[in-house]
Structure 1
Amino acid sequence: MNHLRHSGLPFEAQRMVFLDIVAADPLLADTLVRVRELALPDWLVVSGALYNSVWNHLTGKPSGYGIRDVDLFYFDDSDLSYEAEDAVIRRAAAHFEGLPLPVEVRNQARVHLWYPRKFGQPCPRYASASESVSFFASKTHAVGVRYDGNGQFELVAPFGLDDLFSFRITPNRVMDNQRTHEVKGARAKANWPEISVVPW
Protein backbone atom coordinates (compact mmCIF):
# COMPACT_ATOMS: atom_id res chain seq x y z
CA MET A 1 0.00 0.00 0.00
CA ASN A 2 1.51 3.31 -1.10
CA HIS A 3 0.42 5.75 1.58
CA LEU A 4 1.98 8.66 -0.38
CA ARG A 5 0.04 8.02 -3.59
CA HIS A 6 -1.80 11.36 -3.38
CA SER A 7 1.24 13.44 -2.38
CA GLY A 8 2.11 16.17 -4.87
CA LEU A 9 -1.19 16.03 -6.75
CA PRO A 10 -2.99 19.28 -7.63
CA PHE A 11 -5.12 20.74 -4.84
CA GLU A 12 -8.44 19.93 -6.53
CA ALA A 13 -7.51 16.26 -6.87
CA GLN A 14 -6.41 16.14 -3.23
CA ARG A 15 -9.61 17.93 -2.15
CA MET A 16 -11.76 15.30 -3.86
CA VAL A 17 -9.78 12.42 -2.30
CA PHE A 18 -9.95 14.05 1.14
CA LEU A 19 -13.72 14.56 1.01
CA ASP A 20 -14.29 11.04 -0.38
CA ILE A 21 -12.35 9.58 2.58
CA VAL A 22 -14.29 11.71 5.07
CA ALA A 23 -17.65 10.77 3.50
CA ALA A 24 -16.79 7.05 3.52
CA ASP A 25 -15.57 6.97 7.12
CA PRO A 26 -18.48 5.67 9.25
CA LEU A 27 -17.38 7.55 12.36
CA LEU A 28 -17.08 10.90 10.59
CA ALA A 29 -20.15 10.47 8.40
CA ASP A 30 -22.42 9.86 11.39
CA THR A 31 -20.83 12.66 13.41
CA LEU A 32 -21.15 15.24 10.61
CA VAL A 33 -24.83 14.44 10.13
CA ARG A 34 -25.40 14.93 13.87
CA VAL A 35 -23.45 18.18 13.81
CA ARG A 36 -25.55 19.52 10.95
CA GLU A 37 -28.72 18.70 12.93
CA LEU A 38 -27.39 20.74 15.87
CA ALA A 39 -27.47 23.80 13.56
CA LEU A 40 -24.83 25.92 15.27
CA PRO A 41 -23.89 29.20 13.58
CA ASP A 42 -20.80 29.07 11.32
CA TRP A 43 -19.92 25.53 12.42
CA LEU A 44 -16.88 23.55 11.36
CA VAL A 45 -15.56 20.09 12.30
CA VAL A 46 -11.80 20.54 12.43
CA SER A 47 -8.44 18.98 13.02
CA GLY A 48 -7.61 15.51 14.36
CA ALA A 49 -10.72 13.52 13.56
CA LEU A 50 -10.27 14.59 9.93
CA TYR A 51 -6.55 14.25 9.24
CA ASN A 52 -6.20 11.17 11.43
CA SER A 53 -9.01 9.49 9.47
CA VAL A 54 -7.18 10.23 6.22
CA TRP A 55 -3.96 8.74 7.59
CA ASN A 56 -5.88 5.70 8.84
CA HIS A 57 -7.39 5.17 5.41
CA LEU A 58 -4.04 5.51 3.62
CA THR A 59 -2.18 3.18 6.01
CA GLY A 60 -4.89 0.54 6.32
CA LYS A 61 -5.75 1.26 9.96
CA PRO A 62 -9.32 0.96 11.27
CA SER A 63 -11.71 3.88 11.47
CA GLY A 64 -11.22 5.81 14.71
CA TYR A 65 -7.66 4.62 15.35
CA GLY A 66 -5.63 7.26 17.22
CA ILE A 67 -8.58 9.67 17.49
CA ARG A 68 -9.45 10.91 20.98
CA ASP A 69 -12.32 13.27 20.19
CA VAL A 70 -14.01 15.36 17.53
CA ASP A 71 -13.35 19.11 17.59
CA LEU A 72 -16.39 21.19 16.67
CA PHE A 73 -15.98 24.94 16.22
CA TYR A 74 -18.77 27.44 15.85
CA PHE A 75 -18.79 31.23 15.75
CA ASP A 76 -21.33 33.32 17.63
CA ASP A 77 -20.32 36.81 18.73
CA SER A 78 -23.81 37.82 19.87
CA ASP A 79 -23.01 36.77 23.45
CA LEU A 80 -19.38 36.31 24.52
CA SER A 81 -20.16 35.15 28.05
CA TYR A 82 -18.88 31.86 29.39
CA GLU A 83 -22.47 31.00 30.33
CA ALA A 84 -23.69 31.27 26.73
CA GLU A 85 -20.95 28.96 25.46
CA ASP A 86 -21.51 26.55 28.34
CA ALA A 87 -25.21 26.32 27.48
CA VAL A 88 -24.28 25.33 23.91
CA ILE A 89 -21.74 22.78 25.20
CA ARG A 90 -24.38 21.18 27.46
CA ARG A 91 -26.97 21.11 24.67
CA ALA A 92 -24.39 19.52 22.37
CA ALA A 93 -23.44 16.88 24.96
CA ALA A 94 -27.04 15.68 25.06
CA HIS A 95 -27.35 15.84 21.27
CA PHE A 96 -24.19 13.76 20.68
CA GLU A 97 -24.94 11.13 23.30
CA GLY A 98 -24.29 7.67 21.90
CA LEU A 99 -21.52 8.66 19.51
CA PRO A 100 -18.35 6.59 19.96
CA LEU A 101 -16.16 9.69 20.44
CA PRO A 102 -16.71 12.76 22.61
CA VAL A 103 -17.37 16.00 20.72
CA GLU A 104 -15.49 19.05 22.03
CA VAL A 105 -17.46 22.22 21.22
CA ARG A 106 -15.86 25.68 21.30
CA ASN A 107 -17.10 29.13 20.29
CA GLN A 108 -14.29 30.71 18.28
CA ALA A 109 -15.65 34.18 18.96
CA ARG A 110 -14.50 33.77 22.59
CA VAL A 111 -10.99 32.32 22.14
CA HIS A 112 -9.22 35.68 22.57
CA LEU A 113 -10.79 35.99 26.04
CA TRP A 114 -9.34 32.81 27.59
CA TYR A 115 -6.32 32.02 25.40
CA PRO A 116 -3.88 34.42 27.14
CA ARG A 117 -4.66 32.90 30.55
CA LYS A 118 -4.21 29.35 29.29
CA PHE A 119 -1.20 29.82 27.01
CA GLY A 120 0.48 32.97 28.29
CA GLN A 121 0.32 34.93 25.03
CA PRO A 122 -2.30 37.00 23.22
CA CYS A 123 -4.53 35.60 20.52
CA PRO A 124 -6.22 37.60 17.77
CA ARG A 125 -9.94 38.13 17.88
CA TYR A 126 -11.20 35.84 15.14
CA ALA A 127 -13.90 36.93 12.70
CA SER A 128 -15.12 33.43 11.82
CA ALA A 129 -14.65 29.75 12.60
CA SER A 130 -12.67 29.38 9.38
CA GLU A 131 -10.22 32.14 10.30
CA SER A 132 -9.25 30.40 13.55
CA VAL A 133 -8.10 27.31 11.62
CA SER A 134 -5.30 29.34 10.01
CA PHE A 135 -3.76 29.88 13.47
CA PHE A 136 -3.25 26.19 14.30
CA ALA A 137 0.27 25.30 15.43
CA SER A 138 0.86 23.04 12.42
CA LYS A 139 -0.25 23.83 8.88
CA THR A 140 -0.95 20.14 8.33
CA HIS A 141 -3.66 20.21 10.99
CA ALA A 142 -5.44 23.26 9.54
CA VAL A 143 -8.40 21.49 7.94
CA GLY A 144 -12.12 21.80 8.51
CA VAL A 145 -15.27 20.36 6.97
CA ARG A 146 -18.93 21.31 7.08
CA TYR A 147 -22.06 20.94 5.00
CA ASP A 148 -22.91 23.90 2.77
CA GLY A 149 -26.46 25.09 2.12
CA ASN A 150 -26.92 22.47 -0.58
CA GLY A 151 -25.92 19.55 1.64
CA GLN A 152 -22.50 19.20 0.00
CA PHE A 153 -19.24 19.05 1.89
CA GLU A 154 -17.30 22.29 2.08
CA LEU A 155 -13.58 22.13 2.86
CA VAL A 156 -11.57 24.75 4.74
CA ALA A 157 -7.83 24.23 4.18
CA PRO A 158 -5.91 27.54 4.28
CA PHE A 159 -2.55 25.84 3.64
CA GLY A 160 -3.78 23.23 1.18
CA LEU A 161 -3.58 19.46 1.68
CA ASP A 162 -0.17 18.44 0.41
CA ASP A 163 1.45 18.30 3.86
CA LEU A 164 -1.38 16.04 5.00
CA PHE A 165 -1.08 13.69 2.02
CA SER A 166 2.72 13.77 2.32
CA PHE A 167 2.51 12.64 5.99
CA ARG A 168 4.51 15.74 6.88
CA ILE A 169 3.69 17.90 9.91
CA THR A 170 4.81 21.42 9.07
CA PRO A 171 4.96 24.26 11.62
CA ASN A 172 2.73 27.32 11.33
CA ARG A 173 4.80 30.11 12.89
CA VAL A 174 2.08 32.77 12.88
CA MET A 175 2.03 32.41 16.70
CA ASP A 176 4.51 30.98 19.19
CA ASN A 177 3.07 27.47 19.23
CA GLN A 178 6.31 25.49 19.14
CA ARG A 179 5.41 23.27 22.10
CA THR A 180 2.01 22.35 20.66
CA HIS A 181 3.56 21.59 17.27
CA GLU A 182 6.17 19.32 18.85
CA VAL A 183 3.81 17.52 21.24
CA LYS A 184 1.20 16.84 18.57
CA GLY A 185 3.90 15.85 16.10
CA ALA A 186 5.41 13.31 18.51
CA ARG A 187 2.00 11.86 19.31
CA ALA A 188 1.12 11.52 15.63
CA LYS A 189 4.44 9.87 14.82
CA ALA A 190 3.84 7.32 17.59
CA ASN A 191 0.54 6.32 15.94
CA TRP A 192 1.64 6.68 12.31
CA PRO A 193 5.39 5.97 12.00
CA GLU A 194 5.22 7.07 8.34
CA ILE A 195 4.99 10.70 9.51
CA SER A 196 7.85 13.19 9.44
CA VAL A 197 7.80 16.27 11.69
CA VAL A 198 9.40 19.42 10.30
CA PRO A 199 11.33 21.15 13.14
CA TRP A 200 10.00 24.46 14.41
Structure 2
Amino acid sequence: MTGRLSLDEQLAALKAALSRNDVLLEVLDRTAALGLPGWYLTAGSLFQTVWNVATGRTPSYGIKDYDVFYFDDGDLSWEAEDAAIRAGREAFAELAAEVEIRNEARVHLWYEEKFGVPCAPHTSTESAIDCFAATTCCLGVRLEPGGGWRVYAPHGLSDVFNLVVRPNPVLAPREVYEAKSARWRQVWPELTVLDWPTA
Protein backbone atom coordinates (compact mmCIF):
# COMPACT_ATOMS: atom_id res chain seq x y z
CA MET A 1 0.00 0.00 0.00
CA THR A 2 2.80 2.46 0.81
CA GLY A 3 5.89 0.53 -0.26
CA ARG A 4 6.63 2.81 -3.22
CA LEU A 5 5.70 6.09 -1.55
CA SER A 6 8.40 8.52 -0.52
CA LEU A 7 9.18 8.74 3.18
CA ASP A 8 7.38 12.09 3.40
CA GLU A 9 4.29 10.53 1.81
CA GLN A 10 4.45 7.55 4.17
CA LEU A 11 4.61 9.85 7.19
CA ALA A 12 1.68 11.87 5.86
CA ALA A 13 -0.30 8.65 5.32
CA LEU A 14 0.54 7.54 8.88
CA LYS A 15 -0.61 10.82 10.37
CA ALA A 16 -3.79 10.76 8.30
CA ALA A 17 -4.61 7.22 9.44
CA LEU A 18 -3.85 7.86 13.11
CA SER A 19 -5.85 11.08 13.04
CA ARG A 20 -8.97 9.01 12.31
CA ASN A 21 -8.74 7.63 15.88
CA ASP A 22 -10.14 10.33 18.18
CA VAL A 23 -9.12 8.45 21.33
CA LEU A 24 -5.54 8.19 20.11
CA LEU A 25 -5.41 11.93 19.45
CA GLU A 26 -6.70 12.60 22.97
CA VAL A 27 -4.04 10.30 24.43
CA LEU A 28 -1.35 12.20 22.53
CA ASP A 29 -2.64 15.58 23.72
CA ARG A 30 -3.06 14.57 27.34
CA THR A 31 0.27 12.75 27.52
CA ALA A 32 2.07 15.79 26.12
CA ALA A 33 0.61 17.82 28.98
CA LEU A 34 2.11 15.39 31.55
CA GLY A 35 5.66 16.39 30.61
CA LEU A 36 7.10 12.87 30.82
CA PRO A 37 10.75 12.73 29.67
CA GLY A 38 11.34 11.12 26.27
CA TRP A 39 7.78 9.86 26.01
CA TYR A 40 6.10 8.12 23.08
CA LEU A 41 2.71 6.59 22.46
CA THR A 42 3.75 3.26 21.04
CA ALA A 43 2.89 -0.27 19.94
CA GLY A 44 -0.60 -1.66 19.33
CA SER A 45 -2.75 1.44 19.34
CA LEU A 46 -0.66 2.86 16.49
CA PHE A 47 -0.30 -0.01 14.05
CA GLN A 48 -3.75 -1.40 14.86
CA THR A 49 -5.32 1.97 14.02
CA VAL A 50 -3.54 1.80 10.65
CA TRP A 51 -4.77 -1.77 10.14
CA ASN A 52 -8.32 -0.67 10.91
CA VAL A 53 -8.18 2.25 8.48
CA ALA A 54 -6.61 0.05 5.79
CA THR A 55 -9.32 -2.62 6.17
CA GLY A 56 -12.29 -0.27 6.51
CA ARG A 57 -12.95 -0.93 10.19
CA THR A 58 -13.75 1.55 12.94
CA PRO A 59 -10.38 3.19 13.81
CA SER A 60 -10.38 1.97 17.43
CA TYR A 61 -11.58 -1.56 16.66
CA GLY A 62 -9.73 -4.31 18.57
CA ILE A 63 -7.40 -1.95 20.45
CA LYS A 64 -6.96 -3.21 24.01
CA ASP A 65 -5.02 -0.29 25.43
CA TYR A 66 -2.78 2.67 24.69
CA ASP A 67 0.86 2.22 25.75
CA VAL A 68 2.86 5.27 26.79
CA PHE A 69 6.59 4.77 27.33
CA TYR A 70 8.90 7.34 28.91
CA PHE A 71 12.50 7.25 30.10
CA ASP A 72 13.73 8.53 33.45
CA ASP A 73 16.93 6.88 34.68
CA GLY A 74 17.40 9.53 37.38
CA ASP A 75 15.01 7.72 39.72
CA LEU A 76 14.50 3.99 39.24
CA SER A 77 12.23 3.59 42.24
CA TRP A 78 8.77 2.09 41.87
CA GLU A 79 7.45 5.09 43.78
CA ALA A 80 8.60 7.51 41.05
CA GLU A 81 7.07 5.41 38.27
CA ASP A 82 3.89 4.99 40.29
CA ALA A 83 3.62 8.76 40.65
CA ALA A 84 3.69 9.06 36.84
CA ILE A 85 1.11 6.29 36.53
CA ARG A 86 -1.19 8.00 39.03
CA ALA A 87 -0.80 11.35 37.25
CA GLY A 88 -1.77 9.60 34.03
CA ARG A 89 -4.76 7.92 35.66
CA GLU A 90 -6.02 11.36 36.62
CA ALA A 91 -5.30 12.84 33.19
CA PHE A 92 -7.11 10.02 31.38
CA ALA A 93 -9.92 9.55 33.91
CA GLU A 94 -12.72 10.63 31.58
CA LEU A 95 -11.31 8.90 28.51
CA ALA A 96 -13.01 5.67 27.44
CA ALA A 97 -9.72 3.81 27.05
CA GLU A 98 -7.09 2.06 29.14
CA VAL A 99 -3.78 3.94 29.06
CA GLU A 100 -0.67 2.21 30.45
CA ILE A 101 2.31 4.37 31.38
CA ARG A 102 5.70 2.74 31.98
CA ASN A 103 9.22 4.01 32.68
CA GLU A 104 11.44 2.07 30.28
CA ALA A 105 14.52 2.81 32.40
CA ARG A 106 13.13 0.28 34.90
CA VAL A 107 12.33 -2.61 32.53
CA HIS A 108 15.51 -4.55 33.29
CA LEU A 109 14.46 -4.74 36.95
CA TRP A 110 11.42 -6.94 36.24
CA TYR A 111 11.69 -8.30 32.69
CA GLU A 112 13.45 -11.60 33.41
CA GLU A 113 10.98 -12.55 36.13
CA LYS A 114 8.07 -11.93 33.76
CA PHE A 115 9.44 -13.29 30.47
CA GLY A 116 12.21 -15.70 31.50
CA VAL A 117 15.06 -13.93 29.70
CA PRO A 118 17.32 -11.15 30.99
CA CYS A 119 17.03 -7.62 29.62
CA ALA A 120 19.97 -5.23 29.57
CA PRO A 121 19.10 -1.75 30.83
CA HIS A 122 17.59 0.39 28.09
CA THR A 123 19.38 3.63 27.31
CA SER A 124 16.36 5.52 25.94
CA THR A 125 12.71 5.11 25.10
CA GLU A 126 13.78 4.42 21.53
CA SER A 127 16.02 1.52 22.60
CA ALA A 128 13.03 0.00 24.41
CA ILE A 129 10.83 0.35 21.32
CA ASP A 130 13.58 -1.41 19.33
CA CYS A 131 13.03 -4.56 21.42
CA PHE A 132 9.37 -5.32 20.70
CA ALA A 133 8.70 -8.92 19.61
CA ALA A 134 7.58 -7.83 16.11
CA THR A 135 9.17 -5.16 13.95
CA THR A 136 5.64 -3.94 13.16
CA CYS A 137 5.36 -2.92 16.84
CA CYS A 138 8.52 -0.83 16.69
CA LEU A 139 6.75 2.46 16.20
CA GLY A 140 6.38 5.49 18.43
CA VAL A 141 4.67 8.87 18.06
CA ARG A 142 4.72 11.90 20.30
CA LEU A 143 3.75 15.54 20.10
CA GLU A 144 6.63 17.98 20.18
CA PRO A 145 6.39 21.46 21.71
CA GLY A 146 4.51 23.48 19.12
CA GLY A 147 2.32 20.56 18.13
CA GLY A 148 4.47 18.79 15.54
CA TRP A 149 4.60 15.00 15.43
CA ARG A 150 7.80 13.10 16.12
CA VAL A 151 7.67 9.60 14.61
CA TYR A 152 10.14 6.87 15.54
CA ALA A 153 10.00 3.91 13.14
CA PRO A 154 13.35 2.05 13.02
CA HIS A 155 11.99 -0.59 10.60
CA GLY A 156 10.05 1.81 8.42
CA LEU A 157 6.30 1.81 7.78
CA SER A 158 5.77 -0.54 4.82
CA ASP A 159 4.92 -3.60 6.92
CA VAL A 160 2.52 -1.55 9.04
CA PHE A 161 0.55 -0.39 6.00
CA ASN A 162 0.79 -3.74 4.23
CA LEU A 163 -0.51 -5.68 7.27
CA VAL A 164 2.65 -7.74 7.63
CA VAL A 165 3.75 -8.98 11.05
CA ARG A 166 7.48 -9.69 11.06
CA PRO A 167 9.43 -11.19 14.00
CA ASN A 168 12.07 -9.13 15.79
CA PRO A 169 14.18 -11.72 17.64
CA VAL A 170 16.36 -9.37 19.68
CA LEU A 171 14.87 -9.78 23.16
CA ALA A 172 11.32 -11.10 23.53
CA PRO A 173 10.99 -14.90 23.37
CA ARG A 174 9.40 -16.71 20.44
CA GLU A 175 6.36 -17.58 22.60
CA VAL A 176 5.59 -13.88 23.09
CA TYR A 177 5.69 -13.22 19.35
CA GLU A 178 3.54 -16.23 18.54
CA ALA A 179 0.95 -15.48 21.23
CA LYS A 180 0.61 -11.85 20.17
CA SER A 181 0.47 -12.60 16.45
CA ALA A 182 -2.12 -15.35 17.00
CA ARG A 183 -4.38 -12.93 18.87
CA TRP A 184 -3.91 -10.25 16.20
CA ARG A 185 -4.73 -12.69 13.42
CA GLN A 186 -8.01 -13.57 15.14
CA VAL A 187 -8.99 -9.90 15.20
CA TRP A 188 -7.48 -8.96 11.83
CA PRO A 189 -7.58 -12.11 9.64
CA GLU A 190 -6.14 -10.16 6.70
CA LEU A 191 -2.70 -10.13 8.35
CA THR A 192 0.31 -11.89 6.91
CA VAL A 193 2.24 -13.30 9.90
CA LEU A 194 5.80 -14.35 9.17
CA ASP A 195 7.34 -17.27 11.04
CA TRP A 196 9.89 -16.87 13.80
CA PRO A 197 13.36 -17.69 12.40
CA THR A 198 14.51 -21.22 13.23
CA ALA A 199 18.25 -20.68 12.76
TM-score normalized with structure 2 length: 0.94
Deviations 1:75-103 (A, max 9, x none): 11111011111121112111110111110
- More deviation, 176-185/162-171: 176-185
- Report the counterpart of residue 108 of structure 2 in structure 1: 112
Structure 2 CA distance, aligned partners of 1:33 and 1:113?
A: 30
Structure 1 CA distance, aligned partners of 2:57 and 2:128?
A: 30
Deviations 1:78-136 (A, max 9, x none): 11011111121112111110111110010000001111111111112111111110110
**1:69 positional shift:** 0.5
Q: Is the CA contact (8 Å cut-off) linking 2:21 and 2:59 kept in structure 1?
A: yes
**1:23 positional shift:** 2.4
Q: Does 1:169 align with 2:169?
A: no
TM-score normalized with structure 1 length: 0.93
- Report the counterpart of residue 24 of structure 1 in structure 2: 20
Amino acid at match of 1:187: R
**Alpha-carbon distance change, 118 to 104 in structure 1, aligned in 2, over 3 angstroms:** same
Q: Is the CA contact (8 Å cut-off) linking 1:48 and 1:70 kept in structure 2?
A: yes
Q: Does 1:47 align with 2:46?
A: no
Q: Say what the alpha-carbon RMSD is for the aligned residues.
A: 1.3
Deviations 1:46-66 (A, max 9, x none): 000101101111111112100
Unmatched 5+ residue regions in structure 2?
none
Amino acid at match of 2:13: V
Match of 2:30 among 34, 39, 42: 34
Structure 1 CA distance, aligned partners of 2:18 and 2:124?
A: 23
Amino acid at match of 1:101: A
Match of 1:137 among 133, 136, 139: 133
Unmatched 5+ residue regions in structure 1?
none
Aligned-residue sequence identity (percent) comes to 41
